[in-house]
């Protein structure tokens, strides 16, 4: 296996692929997929997703199906997050004038248009979807910004002459998990190969957080509730509850801040912080454990993951996905439909090792002031995803730093 895997990995690196990193939906730049040469160039079109005989909107015929799905899933919400848009406009203010700017994951070209309007010398917009590239070029023409060039590629495949390298890198490749769409990897690569030493990176940094929560409403859609089963014992179905994967609230079809009985069971914990101008994936640990204290009696139903990102070292401007920040804001619904939060259900780990295979997971019941150990394990090698486990400090012999 090693003899076949190593050459394949080497070939990906030679083509500019970042090992294990995220590939955006709709990506059809030549050589960016893990495909054989016979498979290259075969992009599934929108009409293939419809039942035979169904009407095909003419404007969507021939479009990249993956891109159409992504745009309708979250891209419209992203474009209509006015607070996010203002964040990037403010972050570029006084920074891009007279500078060469690179926009990584340019999409519609909005950030490139902002840079152009704020006086950038020239802008290189890099986008991996051909359909989106064509639409971005149309947007640029319609807005009269002639100093923007759009390139169809992954940024990790692009090569520039020294005189064309950027003074400023901008990117909005954030995910429901802050690094979930490869932002750290693509910015790191761009700093080294596509930018001049000391180039400004926008956003400048960010932090990923976790909070323990309780909600009986959440339990109603994630576990078997005996009071709803009309006296029948259906508890065996509870053995299928997934407490190993982290989901996104949008996948479950609700806004976390809409749960009427949501309670924080711990203070918010900072899992890690990154400086997008210097942090590398190797700077993030593979695993880390935090000692936290229960804020009240009750059941810990889940761990919520949310993040904050800031514009500069002074944190002059910021955006967050904390559910309380989006609850009543006019842009909040768009924010939650674009990103939302990460959510992982919790069970009593110590009881799990002793439970019957067909038994439902035991709820994690805590008392106010009880010390808990929250461990986060990061995906290898990219550190873009993670998993939580929760235990009682009293059940662990070894000290936690």
> Helical H runs in 55-174?
65-70, 76-79, 82-92, 110-117, 130-142
Contact predicate 269/292, CB 8 Å: yes
- CA–CA distance, 93 with 209 (Å, rounded to integer): 28
Contact predicate 269/360, CB 8 Å: no
Catalytic residue (one of 39, 69, 127, 172): 172
Is 139 in a helix, a strand, or coil? helix
Q: Using omega within 30 degrees of 0 as the cis cutoff, is the peptide bond preceding 252 cis?
A: no
Is 11 in a helix, a strand, or coil? helix
398 in active site: no
C-alpha torsion sign, points 70, 71, 73, 76: positive
C-alpha torsion sign, points 263, 266, 271, 275: positive
172 in active site: yes
DSSP character for 268?
-
Catalytic residue (one of 13, 47, 146, 181): 181
**Residue numbers annotated as active site:** 172, 181
């Amino acid at each position: 296996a090693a003899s076949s895997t190593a050459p394949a990995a080497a070939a990906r690196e030679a083509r500019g692929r970042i090992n294990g990193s995220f590939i955006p939906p709709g990506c059809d730049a030549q050589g960016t997929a893990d495909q054989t040469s016979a498979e290259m160039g075969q992009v599934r079109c929108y009409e293939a997703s419809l039942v035979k005989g169904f009407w095909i909107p003419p404007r969507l015929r021939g479009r990249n199906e993956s891109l159409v799905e992504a745009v309708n899933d979250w891209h419209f919400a992203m474009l209509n997050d006015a607070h996010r848009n203002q964040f990037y406009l403010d972050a570029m203010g006084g920074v891009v004038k007279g500078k060469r700017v690179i926009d990584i994951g340019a999409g519609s070209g909005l950030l490139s248009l902002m840079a152009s309007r704020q006086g950038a010398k020239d802008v290189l917009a890099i986008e991996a979807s051909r359909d989106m590239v064509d639409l971005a070029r149309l947007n640029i023409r319609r807005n009269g910004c002639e100093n923007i060039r759009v390139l169809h590629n992954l940024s990790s495949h692009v090569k520039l002459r020294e005189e064309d390298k950027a003074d400023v890198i901008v990117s909005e490749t954030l995910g429901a998990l802050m690094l979930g769409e490869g932002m750290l990897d693509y910015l790191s690569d761009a700093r080294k190969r596509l930018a001049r030493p000391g180039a400004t990176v926008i956003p400048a940094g960010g932090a990923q957080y976790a909070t323990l929560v309780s909600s009986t409403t959440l339990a109603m859609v994630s576990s078997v509730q005996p009071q709803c089963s009309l006296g029948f014992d259906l508890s065996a179905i509870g053995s299928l509850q997934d407490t190993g994967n982290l989901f996104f609230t949008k996948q479950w079809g609700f806004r976390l801040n809409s749960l009427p009985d949501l309670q924080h069971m711990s203070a918010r914990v900072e899992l890690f912080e990154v400086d997008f101008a210097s942090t590398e994936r190797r700077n993030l640990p593979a695993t880390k454990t935090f000692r936290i204290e229960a804020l009240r009696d009750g059941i810990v139903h889940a761990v919520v993951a949310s993040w904050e990102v800031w514009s500069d070292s002074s944190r002059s401007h910021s955006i967050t996905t904390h559910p309380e920040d989006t609850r009543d804001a006019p842009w909040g619904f768009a924010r939650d439909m674009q990103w939302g939060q990460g959510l992982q259900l919790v069970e009593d780990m110590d009881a799990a090792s002793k439970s019957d295979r067909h038994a439902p997971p035991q709820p994690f019941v805590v008392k106010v002031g009880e010390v808990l150990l929250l461990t986060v394990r990061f995906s290898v090698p990219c550190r873009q995803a993670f998993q939580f486990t929760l235990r009682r400090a009293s059940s662990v012999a070894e000290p936690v730093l």
